[in-house]
Amino acid sequence: MKKVLSGNEAFARAAYEAGVGVVSSYPGTPSTEITECASKYKEFYTEWATNEKVAMEVAIGASLGGKRAMTCMKHVGLNVASDPIMTLSYTGVNAGLVAIVADDPNMYSSQNEQDSRHYARFGKMPMLEPCDSAEAKRFTKEGFAISEEFCTPVLVRSCTRVSHTQTVVELEDRVEAPKFAPENDIQKWVMIPANARRKHKIVENRQEQITELAESDKYNPYVIRDKSIGVVCAGVAYNYVREALPEASTLKLDMVWPLPMKKILAFSKLVDKLYVVEELDPFFETEIKAAGIKVEKLERSLCGELSADAVCALFEGREYEPETDTSLPFRPPNMCPGCSHRGMFYAINRLKLFVTGDIGCYTLGLLPPLKAINTTVCMGASIGMAHGLDKAADGMSQKSVAVIGDSTFLHTGINSLVNTVYNRGHSTVVILDNTITGMTGHQPNAGSGCDIHGEPVPKIDYVNLCKSIGVNPDNIRIVDPFDITKCMEVLKEETSKKAPSVIITNKPCIFADRSVIEESYFIHEDKCSGCTICTRLGCPAILWDAEKRVAHIDETLCTGCHLCIKVCKFGAIEQRSK
């Protein structure tokens, strides 16, 4: 049966058909839907892990235990998981293990634009790269076979365009995966130096064997059309080349590492001019040139995405300007109406505190009018950076706070808080607990009280957790983020202390708990003084009528969070039901 699937749905389907036993992941756009879709198959176990390193370790444990295992993450998640997977390359696997990593060219929802192909070369692991949903399913299934044949983890690289676009996929039945007994092999699984030195030689030998596989006709096919131009490409870039240069000869690299250099050389001899078309870094181009094969120069940017039009422009030697649809209304990024983070950011802004921020929807607190984020580096960085500020600049702990979400705190922030306490820091940490992983589409986490299937599970108690780390109970405060006065009072008190302190907000994301939504508010025009204080909250539901010089509430957006009435000094705002 054929079905139209997104790339992410196809990756999940591959796990089902390949007889996978365990999938453990941390959400991150554009990879999130893989595990969400996988969780709908009852034939195997799925879970949200607390971070990508943990997810990778769970997958390793499942492989060791004899079950095929898969883990999925976005490109920056592979940085977090890189520690275990680099050594996994040495230990090898028991049952097959596939890690899917989704890159985000053009950074639609990411803090950097890294190219994950470097990890395959760095870790000496094979990497496959599909160009559509059908290949996403096929390559993932083949990844398990390669993993088991060569005793290696296999990386499958996706990108936003493959993960989120839909193509036709042929559905197949789930197969019984090969049987693997749990392994107890100390020389294989314990990477003390003596064992690791021996395994390094095995890894290098394995690399040569997989290179021979890459040279075979099964992978990396080339098609000779017009011999005047030959293009080496892979993944979504192959689609762009086929559309832009339909007559060009192509060598499509299904296995993007290790590279089949003999086949590339043979292809180069069949065409007059050899080109490489790839997104982001000149990964193929550098390797091919290093092998002594001539590659024609293309003036290509190393930033952002390609497209069929962009490839046309490359070969025509002209500047490429992507078309933009100006008919669409401008929609600036903003926190949602009723967001539980807004009140705390407003209080922070009023106190003019320096904020080390973190990755999450609350990063939007950096935008005007709140302007309450000064740094954002990576998941969990806020607390460590606040500690560094404290140690480097006298008095900064009294002028700054670290702001982090609940999921991000559990991801990697908790380690930094332990470090702050252990090293006698004075930082104040604000945990914006909205009980959900909001940024990636409201996946539950260890603080949500439910698992990936919505089943009840033990819920993290942040107060007791912080106490157990060593934070003085007197320095752990819970506040209602919609109570601005109280937020400011607590912020002043905690930042003044010469000790680590934690402030925890206690209101859920309106999408995680719709019961918090109340009747909307409206503004009496005759009472509004035009002071604009309510508009400084940055709530999308509060508008400004420039002609009348009064504020106005869009009641179709208002969630009745009460925040605006906390700042209006003229009693101009009332709830509709009152």
Annotated binding-site members for [4Fe-4S] cluster: 528, 531, 534, 539, 558, 561, 564, 568
Number of CB atoms found within 10 A of residue 75's CB:
25
CA distance 487 to 227: 69
Let me know: does 387 contact 423? Beta carbons within 8 Å: yes
How many residues in total does the chain contain?
A: 578
Q: Which of these, 501, 480, 245, 287, lies nearest to 387 by C-alpha position?
A: 501
DSSP letters along 277-303, please? --SSS-HHHHHHHHTT---------SS
* The two structure tokens encoding residue 455: 């089943």
Binding positions are 528, 531, 534, 539, 558, 561, 564, 568
The H-or-E segment that residue 136 falls in is: helix 133-150
Cα→Cα distances 226→156, 248, 253, 291, Å: 31, 5, 19, 25
Q: Which of these, 109, 129, 111, lies nearest to 120 by C-alpha position?
A: 129
> Tokens 């976005």 belong to which residue?
74
CA distance 301 to 494: 48
110 Cα distance to chain centroid:
7
CA distance 108 to 130: 20
Angle, CA of 324, 328 and 330, to the nearest 5°:
95
> Tokens 């952002």 belong to which residue?
304
How would you label 153-163 residue by residue, b for 16+ Cβ within 10 Å and e otherwise? bbbbbbbbbbb
Using only C-alpha atoms, the chain has a radius of gyration, in whole angstroms, of: 27
